[in-house]
Amino acid sequence: MANNHGVVFLGPGKVEVQSIDYPKFVNPAGKSIEHGVILKVVSTNICGSDQHMVRGRTTAPKGLVLGHEITGEIIEKGKDVEYLNIGDLVTVPFNVACGRCRTCREQATGVCLNVNSSRAGGAYGYVDMGGWVGGQAEFVMVPYADFNLIKFPDKEKALAKIADLTMLSDILPTGFHGAVTAGVGVGSTVYVAGAGPVGLAAAASARILGAAVVMIGDMNTERLAHAKSVGFEPIDLKKSDKLEELIEAVIGVPEVDASVDAVGFEAKGHGQQHETEAPATVLNSLMAITRAAGGIGIPGLYVTEDPGSKDEAAQQGNLKMRLGLGWAKSHRFYTGQTPVLKYNRALMQAILHDRLPIAKIVNATIIPLNQAPQGYTDFDHGAAKKFVLDPHGVLKKAA
């Protein structure tokens, strides 16, 4: 049996690459299963959602193996796996989904009813998401493989674009979900809050959906400069606490057709308050700038408990939202985990046929697994990069 190493959460501000168990065909309750596969992890990414746990802003337990963005090669399979084979290169949705329950049948795989005993929805290596072992590792087990996994049709071609295709596991479908649910279409004016990887993916998605102009707001100078370099209109939120004025300076009117929250619950204020945490500020500002009957997509993460917040209400997942404004403007709000399977096949095709250079857009930066702790530190300090871990050196070789 091979050795296995993975990125382990050891407490606020600390992760470490440690020796971990080689995966077995068992679910988190210890029950043997035969519908899974074991993957040699080809690529696995550091996500902003992981950072919330590492910062101590969730109830994540020490010892959790992190990682929900996974691409891999099948090296073992259970006897109930019929349509995948050893050697297949596959993309793994971050959602763990059974494919059999009511929500999965309705394509709402982000809230599968059978993979988590405590609530709807499961994910790899994430707090309160069912206890499934994470994939920032050399090897990982993926359940319900026939349902969850998409095989890349041409392995050689896929490896040549692996830095792009690794984004299919989460951030690209998540950004796309935010844009779609906000109602982005041909000729739309769009504002995206947050110039991190998910925000950039949402902006790229808005562009491929036909938006006329895509603005992206942040307070990080490096991230704004990168957003501009890949064709988006940067909005420096340090310049004013009135987002309407910043929007009007770009498009001539203080409102947009659609907006996307790619920030989530650790948001900070605008203008002079840009250093002050304000959990509901993004949602409130998006209601202010989104036109009447417009849409707001909310792929940014909001948690049921935030023990690290200084806001007492936010510690219990409560936000001080100006919901009356959104109601008065007949806004559509769409929240929740992205149902990756709803989008990833189409997005795969867009990548393979050179329509969506997402690795360049999010500034994919490949590092070996043993450098993951430094990657977490750099990402937490606001690096304008998407860190991609290369556990076996496959990406380095492919490049």
Q: Is the pLDDT of residue 270 over 90?
A: no
Provide the pLDDT for residue 111: 98
Question: Do 105 and 86 touch, CB atoms closer than 8 A?
Answer: no
C-alpha 339/C-alpha 284 separation (Å) is 25
Reported as a single tens digit per residue, the pLDDT across 299-344 is 999 988 888 888 788 888 888 899 999 999 999 999 999 999 999 9
> 290-298 and 256-261: which strand pairing?
parallel
Q: What count of other Cβ atoms lies within 10 Å of the Cβ of residue 253?
A: 12
Provide the pLDDT for residue 49: 92
- Percent with pLDDT over 70 in the chain: 99
Under DSSP, is residue 307 helix (H, G, I), strand (E, B) or coil? coil
Q: What is the mean pLDDT of residues 114-134?
A: 97
Provide the pLDDT for residue 221: 96
Q: Is the pLDDT of residue 1 over 80?
A: no
Domains and CATH numbers, the chain: 5-170+339-398 (3.90.180.10), 174-335 (3.40.50.720)
Tokens standing for 68? Answer: 């929900």
Question: Do 78 and 155 touch, CB atoms closer than 8 A?
Answer: no
Q: 53, exposed or middle or buried, with CB in 10 Å at 0-12, 13-18, 19+?
A: buried
Q: Is the pLDDT of residue 362 over 80?
A: yes
Under DSSP, is residue 138 helix (H, G, I), strand (E, B) or coil? coil
Task: Write the single-letter amino acid at 380.
Answer: D
Provide the pLDDT for residue 273: 74
Provide the pLDDT for residue 61: 95
Q: What is the mean pLDDT of residues 96-119?
A: 97
Length of the chain: 399
Q: What is the mean pLDDT of residues 84-101?
A: 98
In degrees rounded to 5, what are phi and psi of residue 155? -60, -45
Q: Is the pLDDT of residue 284 over 80?
A: yes
Reported as a single tens digit per residue, the pLDDT across 50-76 is 999 999 899 999 999 999 999 999 999
C-alpha 328/C-alpha 36 separation (Å) is 48
Q: 19, exposed or middle or buried, with CB in 10 Å at 0-12, 13-18, 19+?
A: exposed
- Percent with pLDDT over 90 in the chain: 88
